[in-house]
Structure 1
Amino acid sequence: MPSAAAALAPVVSAAIEEAFGPELRDADPVLRPSQHADFQANAALPLAKQLQMAPREVAQRIVAAPSVQALLDDGVCASVEISGPGFINLTLADGWLGSAVSATAADPRHGVAQQAPQRVVIDYSAPNVAKEMHVGHLRTTVVGDALARVLEHLGHTVVRQNHIGDWGTPFGMLIEHLLDVGEGSEEARLVETDPNSFYQAARAKFDADPAFAMRARARVVALQGGDGDTLRLWGELVELSKHYFNGIYSRLGVSLTDDDLAGESTYNDDLARVCDELTEAGIATVSDGALCVFLDGFTGREGKPLPLIIRKSDGGYGYGTTDLATVRRRVRDLRADRMLYVIGVTQSLHLQMVWATARRAGWLPDDIEPVHVVIGNVLGADRKILKTRSGAPLRLMALLDEAVAAARAAIDEDRPGLSEEERAALAPQVGIGAVKYADLSVAHDSEYVFDLERMVSLHGNTSRYLQYAVARTRSIFRKAGDAGDAADPAVAITEPEERALALALLDFGDVLAEVGDALEPHRLCTYLFELAQTFSVFYEQCPILTAEPPVLASRLALTGLTRDVLAEGLHLLGIETPETM
């Protein structure tokens, strides 16, 4: 079932064509919600200039067109009126609105249409092997996962790519340290429990012990040369890190698995070929011993050409080489129609240069769209990037532990009547949900201040408020008993609060489509928060369980659809909805 706006917009567009001819086919009706009606079509004002007519006369001709008159004759609209200089106010008929909500309630997808399917490759999370995930990984993981969920729900095939850092010079010292502490030792197991300790111990030895540093450098050469024993040891570090990553992902409730891993090592065999093809095509040239690509429009200091280095002067490869190889593989092997890179804003210039190079090389066709989903920073109370007191990046697991503890404290204060078992179960659902929602509810390219007290509050635009709204709807159905189980899905709209809730519920499909097109999860958060607020007003003003049977059934149907839309929306954000709060 389309939203009310989606049902009205094409009719008004058709009326414009009927009134003024085929040259205005598919004209924008400029349809907006209105305080004076359900919707207001504002097309007459911009059309007046084009047609050299008074706006009110344009509006009168639109309203007189057969398509608009059919809205009245067919019972879609109760009234269509002109106000002011030429605004067209459209008020939906109660019967049509009730039928539309009933149809949406009966639809398993709740009005969400499937889009023309694409293969969408999403690059997100991207932690480093044998290193702690920190707060900087939070947003790319959470935003990327929400986008993957929404796009899949809209009918697209989503290919997750977790581009982990699993190759390069640090592995020389990490492998040598692994040999020093012993494979399978307690120190080695730190890679899956406390990777920073393992990494820092290796780094300290590298900096303090020349013999160890020499062994580490030799090990890098062996790794890059494909030495079997070195590769086995490297694989052990990767495997231990997988356990650590999966612990974080499980705690966060994100959908990444080992099958989604596509780290830097994936492209080793492609890197020389990337350089050769760019050289043969005349795209890459040697500059100061390094193989570089110079692109028009990319300049550095003093206007000098800015190079994309694809092979360093020492013969090693950098991020540019690997990222070009990812583009080739994602187009050729993964058959991407659209590629999303959910990474920080500092990578913007680099990505633009990589994509421009790939276009010139013919690896990135014009009909395939790469998108940088820019991720902003998480700030502390001082409005600086969130770090520990010592200035180190804040460990992500520590952050999640703190969030669960804050949630438990808030639940203990607000809901002392709950059993210990219930409060213990709720704390991680509320705490993890709070962290994810706080991140998702602001534009992904903006910064936000990490404030746990606000995040776990029952008031305001928080996940806990939304989780409570879902729990409240479920409680209503438990109290309704047989009446809830046998509720007739037919909806009758008689009160303003019922109308407001019905209109909001019909917008769910449009909002998800906008999230999928714009790649902005905060739009879904805003919608869910406003829906929960609208339901709260409905709940306060329209008695449900004490209503007479015909009204009871209708209001239970509205409540049930609210429950389903809120729960589905939170699920698409990766947030759990407890049965009770």
Structure 2
Amino acid sequence: MPSAHAALAPLVSAAIERAFGEERRGADPVLRPSQFADLQSNAALPLAKVLGIPPREVAQRIVEALEVDGVCERVEVSGPGFVNLTLAGAWLGTALDELAADPRRGAPRAEPQRVVIDYSAPNVAKEMHVGHLRTTVVGDALARVLEHLGHTVVRQNHIGDWGTPFGMLIERLLEVGEGSEEALLLETDPNTFYQSARTRFEGDAAFATRSRERVVALQAGDAETLRLWHELVDLSRHYFNAIYSRLGIGLTDDDLAGESTYNDDLERVCDELTEAGIATVSDGALCVFLEGRTGREGRPLPLIIRKSDGGYGYATTDLATVRRRVRDLAADRMLYVIGAPQSLHLQMVWETARLAGWLPDDVEVVHVRIGNVLGPDRKILRTRSGAPLRLMALLDDAVAAARAAIDEDRPGLSEEERAALAPQVGIGAVKYADLSVAHDSEYVFDLERMVALNGNTSRYLQYAVARTRSIFRHAGVTPGAVVVAEPEERALALALLDFGDVVDEVGRTLEPHQLCTYLFDLAQTYSVFYERCPVLKAEPAVTASRLTLTGLTRDVLVRGLDLLGIEAPEVM
């Protein structure tokens, strides 16, 4: 069942071709919303300039060539040359009946691809902070949408689990004792453990020496050092999983692909780039100099593949990820859900990978740029002490704010109901606030606004779902065939038919905020329908029709929220 736009676009394009010849085949129908009709074609205006014919005459010829019997009940020219298109009520009713019979509620199945998504990427032995929120939430929503469209999604959680800091962490673990109370902080409060190791490293020369020696042992594959390293990773993994469980994120241990995963590949990456003449030695470091990439004063900007001391950096590991994701994971499309400041680095890595033949032209690679979360002062959100805000603490605050709002707005709910609702509303509020703005933009973190019952919030959408469910609990009539008679019914019908187009668009553009905007608009449209079109007090046939509209609204809202990773409680 197509949306109004999908149904009318090919018909208008065909009419343009019939009216003005084959050279206009595939012409853009320029369909837009209209306050005077369901849709409006503005194609006549640009065509008039090309053809040298008055716009209204062009519009009239398009109307005369239109073949919309059974689809439109009214077509007319208005203004300077707009073509207003009003769909037939019977067509809308049939389309909605088909929508009700479709378990996917109109969401299409795309031509399947294998999509590798790199997101979240916390560091072992460090607590996740607010900076990890957006990459985690946006990446998860994109994975959900792409899977729903029929793609095979391969999640990659590229955690920081290798390198110099692990020498001091292992030495500190040995110092406090495995299984000690402080060691268990790695699972509950990893920042505290990390800071204690850092303090020892900076304040005790002997400890620092042992830490550096431990790094050498780690890189050499010393069995005991590797055992201790695995313990560090395992403790942090439990912490990561606690965060993901609380957020409702679909990452598992099977998705972990940390820096350590690529350690054995790094030397080969350097060798292949050297053998191909792509990398050269400069000031003792192995570098790639890409054409047109310059830094300050116009000097060539290097991508350092191997440092002068023989160590490897992020560029080497990132090249190894590209190489493996194409060769071993068979990616058709790769998404990197990473902070916007990493754009230049990623572009240089991908250019190098294409030169090396590791990234074929037919594999699309996209940087899903993530903007910052700001505090009330419009600076990066931090604690009062200036430290990054711990993610677990932020989630605690969100649940507490939701509980306070629920206690104030819904005192009639039982204690059990309010306790169950608080995390659903609070976590949903944080995720929705993040997803409802363009992922590459900044937004101000405001818990009071996020958990409000009014406005563009997840709680408003959750309440809309609860309202539809309440109607069904009190209905004594079975949903039936849709008859579109009132303007509010028509507006709701058109909105419901757009769901599939929106999901498809999010899958193509990787912009989950478009789905948020759609769901909010749908909830508002349903609210107007609910106020002006009684559902349970109408004649039986009308009630049956409006129940179908209500059920479709419920299903689309629930499905849409689920694609965003947000729960839809039964009662609000």
Equivalent residue, structure 2, for 1:17:
17
Match of 1:335 among 309, 330, 339: 330
Give SS of 2:84's match.
strand
- The yes-or-no answer on 1:290 pairing with 2:285 is yes
Q: Distance in 2 between matches of 1:343 and 1:41?
A: 39
Match of 1:98 among 71, 76, 93: 93
Opposite residue 107 of structure 1, the aligned amino acid is D
- Indicate if the aligned counterparts of 2:479 and 2:546 stay in contact, CA closer than 8 A: no
Match of 1:406 among 401, 405, 408: 401
Equivalent residue, structure 1, for 2:557:
566
Give SS of 2:68's match.
helix
- Indicate if the aligned counterparts of 2:335 and 2:366 stay in contact, CA closer than 8 A: yes
Equivalent residue, structure 2, for 1:520:
511
Q: Distance in 1 between matches of 2:267 and 2:52?
A: 64
Match of 1:496 among 456, 472, 487: 487
Equivalent residue, structure 1, for 2:59:
59
Match of 1:375 among 370, 380, 385: 370
| Offset, 1:98 | 1.2
Give SS of 1:417's match.
coil
- Cα deviation code 1:385-432 (max 9, x no counterpart): 000010000000000000000000000000011110000000000000
Q: Distance in 1 between matches of 2:25 and 2:251?
A: 45
Q: Distance in 2 between matches of 1:317 and 1:113?
A: 44
| Offset, 1:298 | 0.9
Which stretch shifts more, 445-454 or 98-107? Answer: 98-107
Give SS of 1:525's match.
helix
Equivalent residue, structure 2, for 1:318:
313
- The yes-or-no answer on 1:389 pairing with 2:384 is yes
Equivalent residue, structure 2, for 1:539:
530
Match of 2:232 among 231, 237, 240: 237
Opposite residue 413 of structure 2, the aligned amino acid is L
| Offset, 1:102 | 1.2
| Offset, 1:345 | 1.0
Q: Distance in 1 between matches of 2:337 and 2:38?
A: 38
Match of 1:157 among 130, 149, 152: 152
- Residues 29-428 of structure 1 aligned to structure 2 (within 5 Å): 29-65=29-65, 68=66, 70-72=67-69, 75-428=70-423
Opposite residue 131 of structure 1, the aligned amino acid is K
Q: Distance in 2 between matches of 1:111 and 1:378?
A: 34
Equivalent residue, structure 2, for 1:506:
497
- The yes-or-no answer on 1:487 pairing with 2:476 is no
- Cα deviation code 1:263-303 (max 9, x no counterpart): 00110111000000000111000011000000011111101
Opposite residue 502 of structure 2, the aligned amino acid is V
Q: Distance in 2 between matches of 1:566 and 1:353?
A: 41
| Offset, 1:52 | 2.0
TM-score normalised according to structure 2 size: 0.99
| Offset, 1:13 | 0.6
Q: Distance in 2 between matches of 1:213 and 1:85?
A: 78
Give SS of 1:71's match.
coil
Give the CA RMSD over aligned residues.
0.7
Q: Distance in 2 between matches of 1:118 and 1:47?
A: 37
TM-score normalised according to structure 1 size: 0.98
Q: Distance in 2 between matches of 1:324 and 1:171?
A: 22
Opposite residue 34 of structure 2, the aligned amino acid is S
Equivalent residue, structure 2, for 1:4:
4
Q: Distance in 2 between matches of 1:82 and 1:548?
A: 37
| Offset, 1:23 | 1.2
- Indicate if the aligned counterparts of 2:112 and 2:151 stay in contact, CA closer than 8 A: yes
- The yes-or-no answer on 1:436 pairing with 2:431 is yes
Q: Distance in 1 between matches of 2:318 and 2:292?
A: 20
Q: Which runs of 4+ in 1 moved over 2 A?
A: none
- Cα deviation code 1:70-113 (max 9, x no counterpart): 313xx210011111221111000111111111111111011111
Equivalent residue, structure 2, for 1:530:
521
Opposite residue 518 of structure 1, the aligned amino acid is T
Which stretch shifts more, 525-534 or 180-189? Answer: 180-189
- Residues 468-483 of structure 1 aligned to structure 2 (within 5 Å): 468-480=463-475, 482-483=476-477
- Cα deviation code 1:420-472 (max 9, x no counterpart): 00000000000000000000000000000000000000000000000000000
| Offset, 1:476 | 0.4
Opposite residue 446 of structure 2, the aligned amino acid is D
Opposite residue 487 of structure 2, the aligned amino acid is P
- Cα deviation code 1:469-500 (max 9, x no counterpart): 000000000011x42xx322x10011000000
Q: Distance in 1 between matches of 2:479 and 2:502?
A: 28
Q: Distance in 2 between matches of 1:248 and 1:556?
A: 39
Q: Distance in 1 between matches of 2:415 and 2:463?
A: 19
Q: Distance in 2 between matches of 1:416 and 1:284?
A: 67
- Cα deviation code 1:43-62 (max 9, x no counterpart): 11111122222212211221
Q: Distance in 1 between matches of 2:226 and 2:23?
A: 67
Give SS of 1:310's match.
strand
Opposite residue 565 of structure 2, the aligned amino acid is G
- Indicate if the aligned counterparts of 2:55 and 2:81 stay in contact, CA closer than 8 A: yes
Which stretch shifts more, 104-113 or 563-572? Answer: 104-113
Q: Distance in 1 between matches of 2:435 and 2:125?
A: 28
Equivalent residue, structure 2, for 1:550:
541
Q: Percent identity?
A: 82
Opposite residue 16 of structure 1, the aligned amino acid is I
Give SS of 1:364's match.
coil
| Offset, 1:521 | 0.4
Equivalent residue, structure 2, for 1:458:
453
Opposite residue 26 of structure 1, the aligned amino acid is G
Q: Distance in 2 between matches of 1:85 and 1:430?
A: 49
| Offset, 1:537 | 0.2
| Offset, 1:185 | 1.6
Give SS of 1:222's match.
helix
- Indicate if the aligned counterparts of 2:129 and 2:389 stay in contact, CA closer than 8 A: yes
Q: Distance in 2 between matches of 1:257 and 1:91?
A: 49
